[in-house]
Amino acid sequence: MEAAATAETRARRPARSAKPDVAIGSIVARVFNFSSGPAILPEEVLRQAQAELLDWGGRGYSVVESSHRFEPFVALVEEMEVLVRELLAVPSNYQILFMQGGGHQQFAMVPLNLLRARTQADYVVGGHWSNRAAQEASRFCSVRVAADTLKNGATRAPVQSELSLDPQSAYVYYCPNETIHGIEYDYVPATGDVPLVADASSQFLSRTIDVSRFGIVFACAQKNFGPSGLTVAVIRDDLIGHCSPRWPSMLDYKSYSETRSLYNTPATFAVYIAHRVLRWLKDQGGVPAIETRNIEKATLVYDAIDRSDGFYVNRVARAQRSRMNVPFSLRDDRLTAPFLAEAEQGGLAQLKGHRTVGGVRASMYNAMPVEGARRLAAFMQEFQRRHG
Ligand code: PMP
């Protein structure tokens, strides 16, 4: 109810040229923000956080000013674990750990914890982020590239039959949603008995998954469930406890497992916001409901591309088009800068494509209302009418 009212309020707002986030009395004029991350957060969560910055639950101080050992904060972390377990139907033989260090720290933690006595790992390279992870892993082990579609321009993910997997490898690694190239796998790689590791940073909680197919699913929070400074890993029990004592304890999953994610001081504000976002997600009807909404948003924008007679171009294989990140270019690249400027003027912010690929990218994570996608699609059509 609350979400619908918010979307409605936004829809009634005229296209504005005013600066975003300008406080007018108690009303803050917000725009639709398509940032790839850190990204849009639910408006309800931000309003609650704003109010609670002076008074968290009647205590007269905020969560940012509280000890991470204070019971209400510990309870909040415990509830986050319960919420993730419930939202993704995580089986009981998996642990849910919260850490810092973002996606990049996981690029190192995965080999340091999973290699065990082995010396090699398989990496499926389907875009920028799996490639970055493979580079980091090569500091610690021999990396076998099981397939590579990045070298051919990253317009699709490798298919199962292309994967050259070695049963001697310690694990198989891939990135189910490549944030920069806008490629989302339409299948989960079958890896036999070798644990599968997924960097779900830009996909986490946006769709239902069968967790039992994975050894580890990790994600940094700053796209789908919170601010930066927090990372989650859902890990099968038997994969914890194998990190060599040579490595820092901060890089050992066991440190977080033994302390219920309170090994040292976490980024308490990021934890607090993520907790609120997870509750919000549950209130929306959970992952199946948010997935339906995510499909609707993606369809609106891809339809605008496909019906443009080539004015807008997305080069990704249809079955693997990302729901979360929609990159596209304009046939006439000279129109890219005016497109971005006019979109910004119209309250559609942060649409610039990644610096390595250029063009436009619309990231539409869970917190993006359907109305945001509708407004973007309408703007694309209207821009084409004027410039096509
Ligand atoms: N993996 C993916 C899929 C990403 O999109 C990103 C960031 N955009 C990262 C990893 C890196 O995350 P971080 O900056 O938190 O290290």
**H runs (alpha helix) in the chain:** 2-12, 43-52, 71-87, 102-114, 128-137, 253-257, 268-283, 286-306, 336-345, 370-387
In a domain, 224, yes or no: yes
pLDDT for residue 365: 98
Say whether both 97 and 185 belong to one domain.
Answer: yes
Is the beta carbon of 257 within 6 A of some atom in ligand 1? no
Atom of ligand 1 nearest to the CA of 102: 15
Task: Tell me the per-residue pLDDT of 285-299, one tens digit each, with 9 for 90 and over.
Answer: 999 999 999 999 999
Could you tell me if the CB of 182 is within 6 A of ligand 1? no
Domain that holds residue 322: 286-387
Quick one: pLDDT at residue 23?
A: 46
Count the neighbouring beta carbons within 10 Å of the beta carbon of residue 262: 17
CATH number at residue 312: 3.90.1150.10
Q: Which of 237, 260, 283 is the last residue of a domain?
A: 283
- Boundary residue ending a domain (225, 259, 283): 283
Instruction: Looking at the structure, tell me whether residues 332 and 260 fall in a common domain.
Output: no
Share of the chain above pLDDT 90, in %: 92
Q: What is the pLDDT of residues 106-125, one digit of tens each?
A: 999 999 999 999 999 999 99
Question: Is residue 104 within 6 Å of ligand 1 at its C-beta?
Answer: yes
Q: What is the pLDDT of residue 345?
A: 96
Same domain flag for 64 and 130: yes
Instruction: With H, G, I as helix, E, B as strand and everything else as coil, classify residue 187.
Output: coil
Mean pLDDT, residues 142-164 taken together:
97
**Which of 35, 110, 220 most suits a substitution to test ligand 1, by most atoms within 8 Å of the C-beta?**
220
Marked catalytic residue, from 56, 122, 129, 252 = 129
Q: What is the mean pLDDT of the chain?
A: 93
The answer to whether residue 375 is domain-embedded is: yes
Q: Is 19 a catalytic residue?
A: no
Q: What is the pLDDT of residue 30?
A: 86
pLDDT above 90 (res 4): no
Active site residue 297: no
Residue 84 lies in a domain: yes
- Any atom of ligand 1 within 6 Å of the Cβ of 127: no
Per-residue model confidence (pLDDT) at position 11: 41
pLDDT surpasses 60 at 56: yes
Contact 324, 43 (CB under 8 A): no
What's the rounded mean pLDDT across residues 40-68?
Answer: 96
Measured in Å, residue 383 CA sits from the centre of ligand 1 at: 32
pLDDT band at residue 189, thresholds of 50, 70 and 90?
A: very high
* For residue 6, pLDDT beyond 60: no
Tell me how far apart the alpha carbons of residues 180 and 175 are, in angstroms, rounded to a whole number. Answer: 11
Model confidence over 326-377: pLDDT tens digits? 999 999 999 999 999 999 999 999 999 999 999 999 999 999 999 999 999 9
The three-point CA angle 304-286-43 to 5° equals: 65
Given ligand 1 and candidates 179, 322, 357, which is best to mutate, with the most ligand atoms within 8 Å of its CB? 179
Provide the 3-class DSSP secondary structure of residue 172.
strand
Instruction: Please provide the size of the chain in residues.
Output: 388
In ligand 1, which atom is closest to the CA atom of 104? 16
Q: How far, in Å, CA of 114 to CA of 241, rounded?
A: 9
Asked whether residue 159 falls in the same domain as residue 275, the answer is yes
Active-site residue, 122 included: no
In a domain, 6, yes or no: no
Domain assignment present for 308: yes
Q: Which residue among 240, 260, 283 closes a domain?
A: 283
Q: Are residues 185 and 294 in the same domain?
A: no
Q: What is the CA radius of gyration of the chain?
A: 21
Residues 276 and 316 in one domain: no
DSSP letter string over 218-274?
A: EEETTTTTS-SS-EEEEEEGGGSS---TTS-GGG-HHHHHTTTT-SS---HHHHHHH
* Alpha carbon distance 161, 319 (integer Å): 16
- Determine the atom of ligand 1 nearest the C-alpha atom of 222: 15
* Pair (158, 177) in one structural domain: yes
Residue 115 sits in a domain whose CATH number is: 3.40.640.10
What is the Å distance from ligand 1's center to 102 Cα?
Answer: 7
Q: Is residue 42 part of a domain?
A: no
Residue-wise pLDDT for 67-91, tens only, equals: 999 999 999 999 999 999 999 999 9
Q: Is residue 81 part of a domain?
A: yes
> In the prediction, which pLDDT does 152 show?
92
Using the predicted structure, report yes or no on whether residue 169 has a pLDDT greater than 60: yes
253 and 346 share a domain? no
Residue 339 tokens, joined: 């497109």
Q: Which pLDDT belongs to residue 388?
A: 87
Could you tell me what percent of the chain has a pLDDT over 70? 93
Same domain, residue pair 56 and 203: yes
CA-nearest residue for atom 2, ligand 1, is 201
300 and 268 in a common domain: no
pLDDT of 28 reads 55
Same-domain pairing of 299 and 264: no
Whether residues 88 and 219 share a domain: the answer is yes
Residue 220 lies in a domain: yes
Average pLDDT over residues 292-310: 98
Whole-angstrom Cα distance, residue 175 to residue 230? 19
CB count within 10 Å of CB 58 equals: 5
pLDDT confidence tier of residue 308, bands split at 50, 70 and 90: very high
Q: How many domains in the chain?
A: 2
